[in-house]
Amino acid sequence: MSSRQLNNVSDLFFAIGDAIHAAGFGVSVSNYDEFGGMVGDAEVLIEIERTGPGVKQNDGRHVHNVSVTLHCVVARWRKHAPLEAMNLATALERLVDSNRWGLPGRQCDLPESMHCSPSIFQQGKGGYEAWGCAFTQRLAIGRDRTPEDPVIGGLPLVAWKVADEGDQTDLADQDQYKPLEV
């Protein structure tokens, strides 16, 4: 069972950030919306671009289709900044593949529609190059209403009879049913 709970879409942001730190890429991780335009060396900016409604789950939880882009920003003073940004983006794509970020599988589907492409950039002194790793992930927000190990309290009554030719079985007759022996 997962140690994290998924109560808000923003929980995905923090789970992805923790996974990137744990992967040991040696980059800082921050929010795309708070990016000030300055990069020390390399940084991953997490952008939750949009959400859209998904198909409601059987237990009534609402599903959100969340589009995420991980912007891999590398300082332009590095020798091959565009290539390093591309390499970091493709390394993150491998991390994203089949990753639920420690969130419960009943609440977080596997990422889909992954791709990498050039992203933001800035010319001049203090400039940077960036590639983005984009994907979509479905989230079912809220408490999981299905128990992890449901307890089965009993077995159904079963009628089993091979009818002889001409013999009629009355399925509505309660006397023909008996508890299933295990």
Residue 53 belongs to a domain: yes
Which CATH number is 45's domain given? 3.30.2000.10
Residue 52 belongs to a domain: yes
Residue 164 belongs to a domain: no
β pairing state of 28-31 and 42-53 = parallel
Number of domains observed in the structure of the chain = 1
Residue 163 belongs to a domain: no
Provide long-range contacts, Cβ within 8 A and 24+ apart, for 14-20.
15/101, 15/102, 15/103, 16/46, 16/68, 16/70, 16/101, 17/46, 18/101, 18/102, 19/95, 19/99, 19/101, 19/102, 20/44, 20/70, 20/92, 20/95
Residue 119 belongs to a domain: yes
Q: pLDDT tier at 1 (50, 70, 90 boundaries)? A: very low
* pLDDT score of 3 more than 70: no
**What secondary structure does DSSP assign to 45-61, as a single string?**
EEEEEEEEE-PPPTTS-
Question: What are 27-38's pLDDT values in tens digits?
Answer: 999 988 888 877
Question: Which percentage of the chain shows pLDDT scores above 70?
Answer: 80
| Count of beta carbons in the 10 Å neighbourhood of residue 52 | 11
The single-letter DSSP state of residue 174 is: G
Domain that includes residue 110, residue range? 10-140
Residue 149 belongs to a domain: no
Residue range 127-133: mean pLDDT, rounded: 89
Question: What are 48-100's pLDDT values in tens digits?
Answer: 999 999 998 888 888 999 999 999 999 888 889 899 999 999 999 999 999 99
| Count of beta carbons in the 10 Å neighbourhood of residue 144 | 18
Residue 148 belongs to a domain: no
Q: pLDDT tier at 41 (50, 70, 90 boundaries)? A: confident
Question: What are 165-181's pLDDT values in tens digits?
Answer: 666 667 777 777 777 66
Residue 17 belongs to a domain: yes
